[in-house]
Structure 1
Amino acid sequence: MSDVQQFLDILEEIAPAALAASWDNVGLLVGSPRSRVSAVLLALDATAAVVAEAQSLAADLIITHHPAIFQPLKQLRTDQPGGMFLAAALRADISVIGCHTNFDAASGGVSDVLADALGLTETAPLAADKTAYKTASCCGIGRIGTLPEPLPPKAFLNRLRTALPLPWLLEAGPRPAAVRRAAVCGGSCADLAEAALAAGANVFLTAEIKHHIARWAEEAGLWLLDGGHFATENPAMGRLSQLLTVKTQQAGLDVRIYLAAQKSPLRLAEQNSEE
């Protein structure tokens, strides 16, 4: 039987905690390192529904990308989101680990999944700040890489829609004549738009692009694509599942790894949808 500490050690190999941003909160957030683990549920978000799913699967460890405890708690309201998750996990004796910006920055992590899906080669981090992220040269936030051959914008969009489950795609800035260099960053990374342009990107895929950055892109000449926070990060949970499966098998641990059945909390408000 494995325990939580063994999974903390495995995650340290996959996404070292030192890679996490200074403002983040990663690692064991609920439970004890000595608690036994027979099954693990991976989820992007910490919700009460995820705890219920874990219980249905007899999972005693939940690993989420977005931390269940992000800021210092001033109160624990069990009748409100956040508190409901923590209370449900405690009642069910389920441990909870957060693996956030350390997995964003890790080699093989969130942005590498996007880069691989698009077929980018010769990739490098967009923000490889060794002071802020304590990274190696292969690690850091975001990725920029080269396509095997230049693609017209429409062909690039077709590749993007085929490779990723994007419920929508917003764009800002001018479309280039062709895309050869592409930058990606899963989640809310629009503040790296200038870094993407400086690195020679013809396009930058991320999420939650703010109005002023979209306006900046118009004048700076960078094509920005917003694919949504969930859609640009959730594919990496599948990669984390694969990595954990390999590591647990190598360690001789008999543990089941599950992916939560989560969907984006945002959806298109189509007129023909049911009211």
Structure 2
Amino acid sequence: MFAKGQTVIQYMEQLAPKHLAVPDDRIGLQLGSLQKEIKQALIALDVNDEVVEEAISLGADLIIAHHAIIFRPLKTLNTDHPAGKLYEKLIKNDIAVYISHTNLDTAEGGMNDWMAEAIGIESSGTLEDVHTDQLFKLVVFVPKTHHQQVLDAVLGAGAGHIGNYSHCSFNIEGIGTFVPQEGTNPFLGQQGKMERAEEIRLETVVPAGIRSKIIQAMLKAHPYEEVAYDLYPMDLKGRTFGLGRIGKLKQSCTLREFVNVVKKGLNVPHVRVVGDLDREVKKAAVLGGSGSRYVNKALFKGADVIVTGDIDYHTAHDALMAGIAVIDPGHNAEKIMKEQTAGWLRAKLEESRYLTKVHASAVDTEPFCFM
């Protein structure tokens, strides 16, 4: 059985939840339909003509890309223009395009964690916070016979995280009463008669971003026809997610040596470097994509060097004066997401025994030629 488009995207959004994106980012379905079976899916950094031809040759029904194909509102859809031709080719070949951008950057286990791991940063924080989970308290009353089943369901769906602790819950035994009315089909008791049931009051914390998922898991696992539960907001804040990563290097080295680590880890042949190549670097920051405005943030947080793309001339001069080194591997260094995303999504689909195949694009979308 092949996965439906919506199912594939539900898995993708487990990795990169949409609520983690920065405001106004162009994410989600940008072209086509997800109301179809997906036999082949292609993971790409960018969607250009070569990537679309690759998708056609694979028989792909869906492209999941990092960079949007529609970034600004369209006033016309002229198929004589390059962008219009691209959209036309996608539509004629029934290929949907879904974008996962800053939500993938921000996500735990996403783009910036992959890049940090690849260059030896032991990540200890973010460069800029984007989202802090609002927490809710879930209280549900469960018959003792099904307590463990419901507890496993809600914790497995992501409830119960407080700081660096997981599976947090509180459970109190008590007696629940109810009278099944006409038209009910009670799990316990008889219509018209008071029932006294041994129940457990289960309490746990629920992040706002996945509360619907947790409630659905709870309802599915609960044996009652009508489930008694409460969900109310808490002052306690949940986990914070952000852009970029910063931390100590696994081993301190010179900037020159670290340049070679970056080139190898991010699979780039050339980088631009700002700073004294013989200086020692112990703490490093990394941010996928364009990072000029994050150089000062990295400096403020104590980084000796920041690895990021699209550094402009004046920012490079500012970094020199401030005493922070910069390694610019180019925006295309984000290509690390292709194999990583494909592997993650493939494993999820195989675990559910779907036949849908996931491919990492082999097309190099680097627009620059180094002479």
Provide the TM-score with structure 1 as the length reference.
0.91
| Alignment partner, residue 92 of structure 1 | 93
| Alignment partner, residue 129 of structure 1 | 130
1:1-275 superposed matches below 5 A: 1-130=2-131, 137=239, 139-175=241-277, 177-230=279-332, 232-263=333-364, 264-269=366-371
CA distance in 2, matches of 1:17, 1:129: 12
- State the 1:223 CA deviation: 0.2
- State the 1:82 CA deviation: 2.3
| Residues 79 and 49 (structure 1), Cα distance of their counterparts in 2 relative to 1, 3 Å cut | farther
Stretch deviating more after TM superposition (89-98 or 104-113)? 104-113
- State the 1:129 CA deviation: 3.1
SS of the residue aligned with 2:244? strand
- State the 1:137 CA deviation: 4.0
SS of the residue aligned with 2:82? coil
Return the index of the structure with the highest Cα Rg.
2
SS of the residue aligned with 1:82? helix
CA distance in 1, matches of 2:239, 2:276: 31
Structure 1 residues 179-221: Cα deviation after superposition (integer angstroms, max 9, x where no partner) = 1111001111121001100111010000110112111101111
Structure 1 residues 52-82: Cα deviation after superposition (integer angstroms, max 9, x where no partner) = 1111111111111101111111111222232
Contact 1:174 1:218 in 2 (8 A): no
- State the 1:33 CA deviation: 2.6
- State the 1:103 CA deviation: 0.6
CA distance in 2, matches of 1:89, 1:204: 38
Contact 2:131 2:241 in 1 (8 A): no
SS of the residue aligned with 2:248? strand
Q: Which amino acid aligns with 1:267?
A: C
| Alignment partner, residue 140 of structure 2 | none
Q: Which amino acid aligns with 2:339?
A: G
Contact 1:169 1:228 in 2 (8 A): yes
5+ residue gaps, structure 1? 270-275
Q: Which amino acid aligns with 1:130?
A: H
SS of the residue aligned with 2:247? strand
- State the 1:138 CA deviation: 5.9
| Residues 45 and 33 (structure 1), Cα distance of their counterparts in 2 relative to 1, 3 Å cut | same
Greater strand percent: which structure?
A: 2
Stretch deviating more after TM superposition (107-116 or 200-209)? 107-116
SS of the residue aligned with 1:116? helix
5+ residue gaps, structure 2? 133-207, 210-237
Contact 1:176 1:223 in 2 (8 A): no
- State the 1:177 CA deviation: 2.8
Aligned length: 267
SS of the residue aligned with 1:67? coil
Q: Which amino acid aligns with 1:60?
A: D
Same amino acid, percent of matched pairs: 35
| Alignment partner, residue 197 of structure 2 | none
Structure 1 residues 81-107: Cα deviation after superposition (integer angstroms, max 9, x where no partner) = 322221111000111101111111111
Query: Post-superposition, which runs of at least 4 consecutive aligned residues in structure 1 deviate over 6 A?
Result: none
